[in-house]
Each structure stands twice: as structure tokens, then as C-alpha cells.
Amino acid sequence: MNDLGRLEDLPAEYLAELRALNLVPLWPSLRAVLPPGVPMRNTRATHWAYDTLKPLLLKAGKLTPIEKAERRVLVLANPGHGLEKMQASAAMYLGMQLLMPGEWAPSHRHTPNAVRMVVEGEGAWTTVDGEKCPMRRGDLILTPTGLWHEHGHDGTEPVIWLDVLDLPLVYYMEASYHINGVRQSVKSGRGDRAYVRGGIVPTPVFERSSRTYPMLRYPWADARAALESLATDRPDLEQVQVTYVNPETGDDAENILGFYALMLRPGQSVALPARSPAMVFHQIEGRTQVHIESQAFTLAEADTCCAPGYTKVTLGNCSESAPAFLFVADETPLHRKLGVFETRE
């Protein structure tokens, strides 16, 4: 029961005095900012179906040339935050980006961290800090804070990928901006080749500190193989999941958001506990039934959904004969840094 004083209980002249001095009484709003037991969450369970989104994205390709768009993106906005805020959760932004054959999205850099999860198409690439990263379905490509990056397309069919950024957080901090650049010169060497085997890193050791992000492209072929090997080696393991990490340090691939690949065995259902960070699920292969509180979504390939924090989630593979694979993004690294991460059974 809220037994604190209400704003309307205060005299109008007293409130006017406060406002004239840029002062606000806390007690009428205390329970709104510090609710009992569970945080107030604007993030809603939301599903974005790719088969309805894709035609609109392709239409955007006809309506707006890349020269006028710079980045041709449809934002996956969570209605709980208001569509104009373009947020999927408190700290995550999602956008589905299109690049047509022959197009080049010019080089720039910005303060928010970003990753690209390739949805479909062949022939595109992203150059990050001089490293040219091929883009194939299921690949994860990092464009960390402050690094120059651009996108190009030498193929014949549209290429589409999912952007995941920590933009809402950086914008809230009043630290979000970008700088335009010129076309990058491609350097020799690729991190996905240098760090192609787990437990093995290039030497000499003193070269490790030369790049904060030594691996920028995480091929889906490698992640998928790791999941299948893990599932075979550990039949007792309920949740078959791998984390995208920095191969030199073992830390999360980026420093604010966490990224994972998850495999559901044929017919398998996995119950995830209620954890403080919000989560995003993107279907790479197969179909998954997702239960978030009282809502249920069926994710077809390339579908995406979002679950608020402090919420139990159940994932079920719709197939009895083939595995299902999902890409997962969440706010765990941020919550751990802030000391607010928790799990509730």
C-alpha cells in the first residue's frame, strides 16, 4: 500500500514556488522510481515477423536510394517504449538493414556499439577498421564504438541483416554522435582466420594488446559446429549455448551487450529463469515456440522477438526431427558492470 503523500495534496502555490526554482518533491513519485519488489518495465514482449517485414524493407530499397538513406533500415521498435524512441528494450536498439547489389553504405564511426547478424543474401561485406568481413547468413560482425565501418555489396541479390546497438543507453547518457569518413583501405589479415580454433591464439604475446577487438567476424559455420559438438559431447546439458567472446581475453565480444548462439535439440523445450536483463531472440534456423509470461510467439526463420527483464521465458523447438538455432542478445554485461544483475527462480 502506498501511504506516501500525493502531489495533489500539496498547495498549488507551494508547487509553483518549487517549479520556479527547478525543484520537484520526491515523495509523491518515490514508488514510481523505486517500486516494491520488481522494477517498472516499459519493455513489452514483442514479435517481429520477417515475412511481413521483408516486403516493406525491399519497398524501401525502391523508394529511397542509398545516397539519400546512408543506412536503409526499418527499426524494430518496442511499443512499450513508444515507437518514436526506436527502442527494443531499455538498452537495445534493433534494426533490419537492406543493401542492394552494387550499393555502398559510406564509412562512418559512432559512439554506440553495434553488431550485425546476417539474415539472408550473399556478396555483401563490412569493412571495420580496415578489415574486410564477408557477410553470410548467420555470421555475427562487430562494429564496436569508435571504429570506422562501411558496407558494400558485390553480389546479385539483396542482402539483409539485423543491427543490434546499445544506442538507447548511449543516447540517454547524452554521448551519442557519429563522424563521417572516407572509403577505407583494406588491410591484410582477418581475425576470424587468426582465431579459428578455440584455445589457440597468435603469438608473439606482445601483439595481443594492439587491438581491443582482435576478432570482428564470427562465422555462423563455426558457431553452429560448436553447438552441434557441444550437444553431442554433453547429452546431459539442458541448455546448449555458446557465448561470443573476445578470443584474447575471454570477455564478452563487446562491453555493454552480450551475444550468444543457442541450439534446441529436436522436440526440446527449455525454461529460462527470470533474469534482470531484457533479451532478444532471432531465429537463424528452424522454428521455435516462445512463451513470455502470458504471451506466445512462433518464430519462423529470420523472425525476431523481445522479452522484458525479470520475466521467465520458455523456448520450444517446433520440430521433432531437426534442431533449431537462435541468436540471442541481452543486457547482461551492462547489468553485471552496474552490479544489478540477478536471477530469480
Q: Which three cell numbers stand for residue 139?
A: 555470421
Q: Is the backbone peptide bond immediately before 39 cis, with ω within 30 degrees of 0?
A: no
> In whole angstroms, what is the distance from residue 78 CA to residue 42 CA?
9
| In-domain check, residue 211 | yes
> In whole angstroms, what is the distance from residue 287 CA to residue 322 CA?
10
| In-domain check, residue 14 | no
Q: Which three cell numbers stand for residue 33?
A: 522510481
Phi, psi of 267, rounded to the nearest 5 degrees: 75, 0
Amino acid 151 reads H
| In-domain check, residue 158 | yes
One pLDDT digit (tens) per residue for the chain, 345 residues: 456 789 999 999 999 999 999 999 999 999 999 999 999 999 999 999 999 999 999 999 999 999 999 999 999 999 999 999 999 999 999 999 999 999 999 999 999 999 999 999 999 999 999 999 999 999 999 999 999 999 999 999 999 999 999 999 999 999 999 999 999 999 998 999 999 888 888 876 555 556 899 999 999 999 999 999 999 999 999 999 999 999 999 999 999 999 999 999 999 999 999 999 999 999 999 999 999 999 999 999 999 999 999 999 999 999 999 999 999 999 999 999 999 999 997
Residue 154 lies in domain? 46-344
Q: How far is CA 243 from CA 1, 117, 224, 263, in A?
A: 42, 14, 12, 12
What are the tens digits of pLDDT across the range 226-285?
Answer: 999 999 999 999 999 999 999 999 999 999 999 999 999 999 999 999 999 999 999 999
| In-domain check, residue 339 | yes
Q: Which three cell numbers stand for residue 300?
A: 519462423
| In-domain check, residue 276 | yes
When divided into structural domains, the chain yields a total of 1
| In-domain check, residue 323 | yes
| In-domain check, residue 36 | no
| In-domain check, residue 229 | yes
CATH number of 74's domain: 2.60.120.10
> In whole angstroms, what is the distance from residue 285 CA to residue 279 CA?
18
In DSSP notation, 324-341 reads EEEEEEESHHHHHHHT--
